[in-house]
Amino acid sequence: MVDAVSTNTEIGSLNPYLFKLEYKPKPVLSHELGAGSPCLKCQCPGLDLHFWRKICKNCHCRLDEHVISPNDQDHGEIVIRKLFANTQRENFARYGRDQQPNSGKENSAHDVIAKKLRHVHLNKNERHKEGEHRSEARNLADEKNTTASDSRNAASNNSKILTSKEFGTHSSNGENLVFNRTTNNNNNLKAMPPVDPPQNPNSSYASSSSTTAGSAEHEPSHVEYTWMPAGEHVVVDKYMHSLPLYERPIIGTEGAQLRRQRLAYQLPYHDCDVEAAHSLKSDVERTSHQNFVEYVKQNAVGIGEIVDYGKYRQNLISATQDAEVQTSGPQPCKNCDKCIGYTDVGVITDHGQPNEVWHPGCFRCDICHQLLVDMLYFFKDGQYFCGRHYGEKVYPRCSGCDELIFAKEYTYAEEKSWHVDHFCCFGCDLQLGGNRYVSKEDKPYCLECYMAKFARTCLFCKAKIAPFDSRVSHKDFHWHANPACFKCAHCSKSLTNQKFLLKDENVFCCAECKTSFYNRT
């Protein structure tokens, strides 16, 4: 962790484990991960993780919707090590095609990943000043005031988008469909419609570049963060205070818990590691996954960088020959279109257009609108996404196991995509392909599980009412909608589609029958 009041000009020190690239987290069985952790959405007994669904068996809430205590391995570190282990790409994006690091010592994956991980988990016990070579547009505070071309122009702004044949057409009648994908080239990727994101109370937009007085009053004078961006202390401090208090990852607060939740939700580890994707059944699927990860590394992934916007823009104008940039006024935020003040902090990227900039609170996924956790973004077709929704732009995601689908065949049912063997009952895991099922709370159940868990009991015959049977309901009472069960208690007249009277769990066709019934007894 890092003390926010450090006097170092540059912030960023590294966990020593990061230099041991062969180091892996201690293996934990999937069903034991976070066992018993309380749920943030319901009052379930605690997390009991399903062995392949990645949801709780007790409440069906996701893993990131439970209070999982942090361990020695930060999720952000693990994902970044997977996605930024390409030295050539790093040097190209940072310095341009014809430039190399000034020190000449950044040719190992060790140094490349170390740079990227300055944006992640910082060790408060080993904090030290670490210099970093920057492009001219990002290095105005450097005392040398060296002149260099804007390295952002060196990065490819027109990433090659891979395409493939159609996956198929979604069914409009709600039936189960198995899709055939015929592809002869594993490098080809097809953009798919995104899956609707789950409702998240933290998805609302944050205020832009200035904090409110109320939030400042409630923040302690001495705080430590679980994550801080790289940069000068003054700029980092302004960035943190530009975020709403609940989104600042202060140790032991709602913000730190929210960061852990977003890391798990926005950056599914199985999307970037073939070994973690347990749904891959063949070498062809594994190759497709590897090609996807390599494409992401080379063309899509990046980490936003914070800048003193006034200095950055002044240098950008002097370094570029773009007349539009030189003559335009204050730059609007790419998200909210409100101008960014010259004294504000801005967020910039290595992708997109050179003049794109965001308020700190506006650097969000274009689909789920969550703040991009640790400023890690994925670029596609001029838009910026979190890892989850970028993956869903390219491949469908299985609603059963939460992994991307690389198989040639998959099932589409209930307006969701599934691996063929993962379209199963949420109660007993019975495969539902070709079988009748009932959807309850957007989850499919076999008839037996539905009857046991959700079916109503007929007040007259005391038997369960099947989901396909007609039913009459009044308040908390239910009957089979047939003459044998829903009838007058006195004269046995069928009351289906008729007015009725209810008293003491008995139904009557009229007041006379009710009076006669009780006078008789």
The verdict on residue 319 lying in a domain is: yes
Alpha-carbon distance 156 to 164, whole Å?
22
Q: At what angle do helices 254-266 and 75-83 cross, to 10 degrees?
A: 40
Helices (H) and strands (E) counted in the chain, each on its own, are 14, 18
Tokens of 272: 């970037």
Q: In this structure, is residue 229 part of a structural domain? A: yes
- pLDDT grade for 261, boundaries at 50, 70 and 90: confident
How far is it, in rounded angstroms, from Cα 488 to Cα 312?
82
Asked if 170 and 418 touch (Cβ cutoff 8 Å), the reply is no
Residue carrying the six token digits 């040097």: 91
Q: What is the pLDDT of residue 393?
A: 96
pLDDT range class, residue 71, cuts 50, 70, 90:
low
272 phi and psi, to 5 degrees? -115, 5
Task: Give residue-wise pLDDT tens across range 187-205.
Answer: 333 333 333 333 443 333 3
Overall average pLDDT of the 274-296 stretch: 93
List all residues 6 or more positions away from 145 whose beta carbon is below 8 Å from its beta carbon: none
Higher pLDDT, 396 or 161: 396
Tell me: do 364 and 266 sit in the same domain. Answer: yes
Highest mean pLDDT among 308-312, 388-392, 488-492: 388-392
The whole-number pLDDT of residue 85 equals 66
Write down the pLDDT at residue 211: 37
Domain that holds residue 213: 71-167+201-382
Residues 228 and 331 in one domain: yes
Beta carbons of 179 and 409 less than 8 angstroms apart: yes
Least confident of 57-61, 91-95, 340-344, 353-357: 91-95
Domain edge (last residue) among 382, 401, 416: 382
Mean pLDDT of the 20-49 span: 61
For residue 3, give the nearest of 123, 117, 118, 115 by alpha carbon.
123
Q: Look-up: residue for tokens 């439970």? A: 66
How far apart CA 25 and CA 78 sit, in angstroms, is 9
- Structural domain count of the chain: 2
Q: Give the separation between CA 236 and CA 238, rounded to whole angstroms.
A: 5
The pLDDT of residue 234: 93
The separation between CA 426 and the C-alpha centre of its own chain, rounded to angstroms, equals 22
Residue 357 lies in a domain: yes
Taking only the tens place, the pLDDT of each residue in 376-396 is 999 999 999 999 999 999 999
The gap between the terminal CA atoms of the chain, to the nearest Å, is: 78
Strand partners for 339: 332
Instruction: Sheet containing 409-413: give its strands across.
Output: 177-180, 409-413, 416-418
Count other C-beta atoms under 10 Å from residue 294's C-beta.
12
Supply the pLDDT for residue 78: 75
Quick count: other Cβ atoms within 10 Å of Cβ 326?
11
| Residue 374 forms part of a structural domain | yes
Q: What are phi and psi of 438, to 5 degrees?
A: -125, 135
For strands 437-440 and 443-446, give the pairing.
Answer: antiparallel
The answer to whether residue 347 is domain-embedded is yes
Residue 230 belongs to some domain of the structure = yes
Whether residue 264 is found in the same domain as residue 362 = yes
CB 78 within 8 A of CB 90: no
| Inside any domain, residue 142 | yes
Same domain, 378 and 494: no
Q: How far apart are CA 498 and CA 507, in angstroms?
A: 11
* 302 membership: H or E segment, kind and range: strand 301-303
Asked whether residue 344 falls in the same domain as residue 228, the answer is: yes
Q: What is the CATH number of the domain that holds 487?
A: 2.10.110.10
Q: How far apart are CA 38 and CA 156, in angstroms?
A: 45
Between 76 and 144, where is the model more confident?
Answer: 76
Distances (CA, A) of 423 to 141, 418, 431, 467: 56, 6, 6, 20
In this prediction, residue 68 carries a pLDDT of 64
In a domain, 435, yes or no: no
Instruction: Flag whether pLDDT at 519 surpasses 70.
Output: yes
Q: How confident is the model at residue 420 (pLDDT cuts 50, 70, 90)?
A: very high
Q: What is the pLDDT of residue 39?
A: 80
Q: 275 and 141 share a domain?
A: yes
> DSSP character for 91?
H
Q: Which DSSP string do the residues of 393-446 spell out, in sequence order? A: HHS-BBTTT--B--SSEEEEETTEEE-GGG-B-TTT--B-TTS-EEEETTEEEE
Same domain, 216 and 321: yes
pLDDT at 9: 41
Which of the listed residues 348, 365, 382 is the one where a domain comes to its end? Answer: 382
Q: Predicted confidence band at 50 (pLDDT cuts at 50, 70, 90)? A: low
Q: Indicate the range of 164-178, 349-363, 429-443, 497-511 predicted with least confidence.
A: 164-178
Q: Which of 382, 416, 434 is the last residue of a domain?
A: 382
* Among the listed residues 267, 253, 264, 247, the one whose alpha carbon sits nearest the alpha carbon of residue 206: 247
Over residues 88-109, mean pLDDT: 41
Q: Does the pLDDT value for residue 455 go beyond 60?
A: yes
Model-level pTM?
0.66
The confidence score (pLDDT) of residue 208 equals: 37
CA distance readout (Å), 17 to 24, 77, 125: 9, 10, 14
Q: Average pLDDT, whole number, for the chain?
A: 72
One domain for residues 307 and 161: yes
Q: Residue with structure tokens 């010259």?
A: 342
